[in-house]
Amino acid sequence: MEVHFGYEGLKLRNPVITMGVFDGVHRGHCMLIEKVINEAGRCGSDAVVVTFDPHPRIVLESHPENLRFLTDINERIFLLEKMDIDHLVIIPFTKEMSNMPACGFVETILCGKLGVRHLVAGFNHHFGKRHAGTGETIAECSQKFGFNLTRADALSSGNVIISSSVIRDMLSEGKVEDAAGLLGYQYFVTGKVVKGQKVGRRIGFPTANVEPAFNYKLIPQRGVYAAKVEINGSNEEFTAMVNIGNRPTVTDGKGKETIEAHLINFSGDLYDREIRIVFRYRLRDEVRFKSLDELTAQLRADRESTISLLG
């Protein structure tokens, strides 16, 4: 997959295109992209995915610091690389772009810059100024500018239409297993290991304190999780128990929210290393214990539960 930041040097062969933010690159997104890949293969064209960075809401919201998303652009690239896409085009999103009329966007960007020959659009795709562009708008534009159009239906799991917002809600409630069913993979958080207070080390459970790489990363609900931890730059993977919260036993409930991972059977220094925490199961809520001895006993039980689940 060739990754292009902007349009410079683009040489697309009769491209079959789908476009969107694709936050999370979930099963619904993958279904859409598979249609692109299949159509491109059928007619000898390039399979092209167009996305935007930063997320449009970060640019347009008056208080973006409160927003949370499933993936940043690097994580989207990581997930999309697993698919048989020829080109990923990343368009810088700006306020000026948000003011482009829907048909103007199609004419200028899709047709003028990308040379679309066939567009595969999602069931609820909106674009252009004030999201005025709908499926009907795209159909009109396809006839006007002479490209083919496929409009995909929604993908459901049970009675739930798969969407990024539904997955965000699940993760906010700690439902990492349910979210994985809609994502098609286990949710993960990527970040750098930073120095902490070393309380875990003193009680026999040293932890890696992780600072997410993406400021807008959605962190699952507070609690304790069984997870896998992948260390960037190596082929190493460790079973881990992960605590998300403010460590009420040692901070009296007034501490900053942290992500702490205890890697089972790991010894070494991870400071300043990038790791990926892959959430598998939620074990329990975060609890304030009366003493460090009670906390230590619970951590032993958590470790046994984690090993039982993940090995």
Q: Which residue has the higher pLDDT, 186 or 105?
A: 186
Token code pair at residue 165: 């917002």
Task: Give me the CATH topology for the region 2-161.
Answer: Rossmann fold (3.40.50)
Q: Which residue has the higher pLDDT, 27 or 269?
A: 27
Tell me the average pLDDT across 29-33. 97
Look at residue 297 and tell me whether its pLDDT is greater than 60: yes
**CB of 119 closer than 8 Å to CB of 111:** no
Nearest-angstrom CA–CA distance, 70 and 22? 10
pLDDT of residue 299: 92
Q: Which residue has the higher pLDDT, 185 or 288?
A: 185
Coil, helix or strand at residue 107: helix
Helix boundaries (H) for 107-263: 135-145, 164-172, 176-183, 199-202, 248-251
Token code pair at residue 161: 């239409």
pLDDT of residue 205: 84
Tell me the average pLDDT across 12-24. 96
**CB of 138 closer than 8 Å to CB of 121:** yes
Nearest-angstrom CA–CA distance, 167 and 264? 29
Q: What residue ranges do the domains of the chain occupy?
A: 2-161, 186-310
Tokens 């619970």 belong to: 298
Token code pair at residue 283: 């074990």
Architecture of the domain whose range is 186-310:
Beta Barrel (2.40)
Look at residue 141 and tell me whether its pLDDT is greater than 80: yes
Residue 303: burial class (beta carbons within 10 Å; 0-12, 13-18, 19+): middle
Nearest-angstrom CA–CA distance, 106 and 146? 11
Look at residue 49 and tell me whether its pLDDT is greater than 90: yes
Q: Report the candidate in 59, 207, 49 with the shortest Cα–Cα distance to residue 114.
A: 49
pLDDT of residue 257: 86
CB count in 10 Å sphere of residue 150: 15
Q: What is the pLDDT of residues 148-158, one digit of tens each?
A: 999 999 999 99
Residue 178: burial class (beta carbons within 10 Å; 0-12, 13-18, 19+): middle
Identify any residues that bridge with 133 across adjacent strands, giving them in sequence order: 127
Token code pair at residue 289: 């214990």
| Type and span of the H or E element at 157 | strand 156-157
Instruction: Look at 47-51, 70-74, 180-184, 292-296 and tell me which has the smallest mean pLDDT.
Output: 292-296
Look at residue 2 and tell me whether its pLDDT is greater than 70: yes
Tell me the average pLDDT across 26-38. 97
Q: What is the pLDDT of residues 248-264, one digit of tens each?
A: 666 655 667 899 999 99
Coil, helix or strand at residue 33: helix
Instruction: Look at 165-169, 242-246, 273-277, 285-289 and tell me which has the smallest mean pLDDT.
Output: 285-289
The reply to whether domains 2-161 and 186-310 share a CATH topology is no
Look at residue 204 and tell me whether its pLDDT is greater than 80: no
